[in-house]
Amino acid sequence: MYIAYLSPDFISTQACTEQQPEITTEDFAIYNERIDGYSAACARLSREIAAIQRYLPGWLPERPGLK
């Protein structure tokens, strides 16, 4: 396993000054619906998740939007 570390000295100043895209209320609502669905699915499948975590401690289903 490799551990990567990036010193703040090497982070470009351009990356810090770039403007992030504006999030609309519609985007925010869609994101909230996805998170609510993820939470509901995790609650519904909690036994299956616990069985998987016996063999893979700390494992969680992939969250929406983090691909």
pTM of this prediction exceeds 0.85: no
Distance CA 49, CA 58 (A): 10
Domain boundaries, the chain: 24-67
Tell me: the pLDDT tens digits for 13-66?
Answer: 555 556 777 878 888 888 888 888 888 988 999 999 899 999 999 888 887 665
Residue 30 falls in which region: left (phi positive, over 0), alpha (psi -120 to 50) or beta: alpha
Residue 59 has a pLDDT of 87
Distance CA 3, CA 34 (A): 31
